[in-house]
Structure 1
Amino acid sequence: MDIRALKIAGAWEITPKQFGDNRGVFLEWFKSSAFTAVTGRTLELAQANCSVSAAGSLRGIHFTDNPPGQAKYVTCVKGAFLDVVVDLRVGSPTFGEWDSVLIDDVDRKAVYLSEGLGHAILSLEDGSTVMYLCSIEYSPEFDRDLDPFDPELNITWPTTDRAGNPLTYELSAKDSAAPSLHALRTQGLLPRSTAPSP
């Protein structure tokens, strides 16, 4: 597998090698030894999630109080998503910046994001299915949301689906009411960077 660091420290894009024949395709979407060799991290698995989404479904931006923090390893098994990682760590050199990866059922890429990073996915096709491994179990008392359309972040969301049709964004009530980056920072609800000062 090929593992590439994203521009946000603590986030990586993972592209597996696929082996196909007349029966179908085989791939390793996670391999501990390869992952640890490149990232220097181990993946503690506490929960595995699966989410199926209609085109235009936008889930996030979600993050977890850090500590305890929640790391995620995310892949798409059907359809396509734009996977967006946002640096929410106050004091980080890339605070407020974002990066994205197209995860789909063609290249079968995965994204790993460390604790303290925000995460969102936008479905680009009906029935798109994402699966992700989590380092801690879901705990609502630590769960936080950030407005995915916050102009301070200026995320470039796709306006068309996988087939080129216009997208209509669909958000949960909770995500629609999510606060801005400024509000979360003012209230002291953002994670702090644990990187040493330069």
Structure 2
Amino acid sequence: MKNLLKYAAGAFILALALSSCREEPNYSDVPAITFDRIEQYTYTANKITRDTLIIAVDFQDGDGNLGLDRIGPDGTQSGPDFEPPFNPGSQYFYNFFAIPQVKRGNTYTSLPEINGRFPKLSMDGKPEPLEGEIRYTITSFSTDAYPFADTIRFEVYIYDRDLNKSNVVYTDDIVLYQGL
């Protein structure tokens, strides 16, 4: 029994030492994204069919400076994440860009982009490598605005707080209003 405790303690210390040697990943400070999936939820209310779409992209970022506050500390659009270059009307006000593209034959035609903000992913503000998934929900597809069951895809990219643009990815094709 005495030997068992001695060896168990030694094994624990060795495991602890080896786990503390884990190297941090070495990602670029420019965010990189990969398309993961697009989820489609279709429902009808008051004779209008609507699609809610969720675009999921995986990301890697070397300094972890992803995300912007959606609202300032005082409950309004104030604070550092609403001052230039992130001020309303600026091209950097949004940090998630999804450009719907309608498929016509073998070509795609872009529609007006659907942009939004995803929140800060590192709360302590320290530069550190981050990886994970961003899920962005789009609820604006309805038969009153988009009357046809079109095949669409999205061109997607993000910006970090240093204004670095990620690579561009494309979602899989989906057919609107087919989830019923």
TM exceeding 0.5 = no
Q: What's the TM-score, normalizing by structure 1?
A: 0.21
> Over alpha carbons, which structure has the higher Rg?
2
Could you state the TM-score of these two structures normalised by the residue count of structure 2?
0.22
